[in-house]
Amino acid sequence: MDEELIFGENKELFYNYDGLGHFSTKKMPHGESGIFLNQMWATFNDRKLKAREEVIAGKRSPICYHMERVRIDMLTLALLIGYSPFKVKRHFKPRVYKHLSQDVKAKYAEIFEIKVEQLENINLD
């Protein structure tokens, strides 16, 4: 007999992606999912705030912030823009970013669904 029928709990299935290309699943009793989702959103927000601080400190380019803002990873961004991950990672460096052409910046802006002029704005929420 099915375990869920014995205990009579409604469970929700969650998928987790570890960033290395591996997915895992986890069943949680209905209600605990709210805690999980709150923790997940807090993590997303923390990463976005950390990226914003790094941009303000001159350690990262605005691309890093916007990547966190739209919740995509660097490999996905590389696929979307059509560059190698190595090249995208270089664009995270402020000294490299400031020499990017308007066409490249326009590609990033399109992926982030903002105008090119807004790419420098790290206060979008």
3-state secondary structure 88-114: HHHHCCHHHHCCCCHHHHHHHHHHHCC
What's the confidence (pLDDT) of residue 9?
57
Residue 1 has pLDDT above 70, yes or no: no
Written as six digits, the tokens of 122 are 């790290």
Alpha helix positions (H), 21-73: 32-56, 62-69
- Tell me, what's the pLDDT at 59? 96
- Global confidence as pTM: 0.69
pLDDT at residue 5 above 60? Answer: no
- 33 beta partners: none
The percentage of residues in the chain with a pLDDT greater than 90, rounded to a whole number, is: 57
Structure tokens at 43: 């993590």
pLDDT digits (tens, 9 = 90+) for 67-111: 999 999 999 999 999 999 999 999 999 999 999 999 999 999 999
